[in-house]
């Protein structure tokens, strides 16, 4: 079943690498060595950015 409320977003290589660095930092902080997915990190950053511009 398709989720029509979700759309793909294209990111540059630099943006993906930045997300991977954040993921690695989260993995290092974790006692279990786990980290959120790149998609989760990207969604959280987008939510934070949108709150700052009050949209």
Summarize pLDDT for 10-32 with one digit per residue, the tens: 999 999 999 999 999 999 999 99
Instruction: Give whole-number Cα distances, 12 to 9, 28, 31, 48, in Å.
Output: 10, 25, 31, 20
Are 26 and 45 contacting, i.e. CB atoms less than 8 angstroms apart? no
pLDDT tier for residue 54 given thresholds of 50, 70 and 90 = confident
What span, in angstroms and rounded, lies between the C-alpha atoms of 13 and 10? 10
Whether the model clears a pTM of 0.85, i.e. scores above it, the answer is no
Looking at per-residue pLDDT, the higher value among 27 and 8 belongs to: 27
């Amino acid at each position: 079943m398709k989720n029509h409320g979700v759309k793909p977003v294209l990111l540059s290589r630099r943006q993906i690498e930045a997300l991977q660095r954040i993921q690695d930092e989260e993995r290092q902080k974790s006692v279990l060595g786990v980290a959120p997915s790149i998609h989760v990190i990207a969604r959280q950053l987008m939510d934070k950015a949108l709150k700052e511009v009050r949209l």
